[in-house]
Amino acid sequence: MVDSRILQIAELLKKEYPNPKTELIHKNEYQLAVAVMLSAQTTDKKVNQITPAFFSKYPNWESLANANLTEVQNAIHGVNFHLGKADRLIKAGKVVEALYGGELPKHFEDLIKIPGIARKSCNVIMQELWGIAEGIVVDTHVTRVSQRLGLTTNTDPVKIERDLMSLLPKEYWRNFSGAVVLHGRYICTARKPKCEKCVLNKICPSAFKCD
Ligand code: SF4
């Protein structure tokens, strides 16, 4: 069921963030996918610090598919959970090379089969690279902002995404995803949200009530 309040929220955010983009620095599809995989539980800033050297050493899926695990672990040492991420990056390289000829598949159901690319990553990659919104990106920022706005009471990202998708028409999903990520990062921050600067402060039930 479409909720009129979420439409108002989506429209206000669209005006504030008309063309939201990821802050993960990338030059091609491969680089964005790798950066998104590295960004789980890690800030974009930290990822951007290590990716230039990483992409020099591993410029494409083929180089990752043939990489040495310890060397990849060392190359991404600065990000959280680097051991598991290194393993999944190499596996992703092998899958993309073997199944998709070295290029990312454009269908959600194929993309999500690649090791290290879960639902959130699929949504980010598809929206950023091809403008396709099959869902709504739910990261730590979207979780927090959606809860404060009273759009969900869930804490599980899959359930939050389901709640948001049921409330908001599909044509808003792409902008809403990117806009809420940026809004959470810069305005509706985890501590001391800047409610006085927030375009949603007249319709947000949490306005001026968070620490
Ligand atoms: S009014 Fe405050 S709590 Fe509500 S969305 Fe804006 S910054 Fe967040």
Do the domain assignments include residue 73?
Answer: yes
Q: Based on the domain organization, do 173 and 142 belong to the same domain?
A: yes
Q: Identify the CATH number of the domain in which residue 116 sits.
A: 1.10.340.30
- pTM, entire model: 0.90
Domain encompassing residue 190: 4-20+136-197
Q: How far is CA 4 from CA 111, 121, 188, in A?
A: 33, 28, 21
Q: Based on the domain organization, do 101 and 41 belong to the same domain?
A: yes
Choose which residue among 9, 198, 210 to substitute to test ligand 1 binding: the one with the highest number of ligand atoms within 8 A of its C-beta: 198
Within 6 Å (CB) of ligand 1, which residues are found?
145, 148-149, 187-188, 193-195, 198, 200-201, 204, 206-207, 210
Last residue of a domain, one of 130, 145, 160: 130
Q: Based on the domain organization, do 90 and 142 belong to the same domain?
A: no
pLDDT over 60 (residue 195): yes
Last residue of a domain, one of 130, 154, 172: 130
Q: Based on the domain organization, do 9 and 39 belong to the same domain?
A: no
DSSP string, the chain: ---HHHHHHHHHHHHHSSS----S--SSHHHHHHHHHHTTTS-HHHHHHHHHHHHHH--SHHHHHT--HHHHHHHTTTSTTHHHHHHHHHHHHHHHHHHHTTS--SSHHHHTTSTT--HHHHHHHHHHHH---SS----HHHHHHHHHTTS----SHHHHHHHHHHHS-GGGHHHHHHHHHHHHHHTS-SSS--GGG-TTTTT-TTTTT--
* Tens-place pLDDT, residues 76-105: 999 999 999 999 999 999 999 999 999 999
Choose which residue among 143, 145, 182 to substitute to test ligand 1 binding: the one with the highest number of ligand atoms within 8 A of its C-beta: 145
Q: Identify the CATH number of the domain in which residue 159 sits.
A: 1.10.1670.10
Q: Based on the domain organization, do 119 and 160 belong to the same domain?
A: no
pLDDT over 60 (residue 68): yes
Name the pLDDT band for 112 (thresholds 50, 70, 90).
very high
Do the domain assignments include residue 205?
Answer: no
Q: Which atom of ligand 1 is nearest to the CA of 199?
A: 6
- Please give the pLDDT value at position 91: 98
pLDDT over 70 (residue 51): yes
If we measure between CA atoms, which residue out of 56, 23, 70, 65 comes closest to residue 184? 23
Q: Based on the domain organization, do 48 and 103 belong to the same domain?
A: yes
pLDDT over 70 (residue 2): no
Do the domain assignments include residue 106?
Answer: yes
Q: Based on the domain organization, do 40 and 95 belong to the same domain?
A: yes
Do the domain assignments include residue 208?
Answer: no
Q: 45: CA distance to ligand 1 center in Å?
A: 23
Q: Based on the domain organization, do 54 and 110 belong to the same domain?
A: yes
Rounded Cα distance between 185 and 200, Å, is: 15
Do the domain assignments include residue 202?
Answer: no
Rounded Cα distance between 155 and 168, Å, is: 18
Last residue of a domain, one of 109, 130, 151: 130
- Please give the pLDDT value at position 4: 87
* Tens-place pLDDT, residues 13-22: 999 999 999 9
* Tens-place pLDDT, residues 122-169: 999 999 999 999 999 999 999 999 999 999 999 999 999 999 999 999
- Please give the pLDDT value at position 211: 75
If we measure between CA atoms, which residue out of 103, 107, 132, 135 comes closest to residue 120? 135
Task: Determine the average pLDDT of the residues in 171-188.
Answer: 96
- Please give the pLDDT value at position 77: 95
Q: Based on the domain organization, do 140 and 85 belong to the same domain?
A: no
Q: Based on the domain organization, do 92 and 116 belong to the same domain?
A: yes
Structural domains of the chain, count:
2
**Residue % of the chain over a pLDDT of 90:** 96
Q: Based on the domain organization, do 48 and 77 belong to the same domain?
A: yes
Calculate the average pLDDT of the chain.
95
Binding-site residues for [4Fe-4S] cluster: 188, 195, 198, 204
Q: Based on the domain organization, do 33 and 71 belong to the same domain?
A: yes
pLDDT over 80 (residue 29): yes
Angle between helix axes 157-167 and 140-148 (nearest 10 degrees) is 60
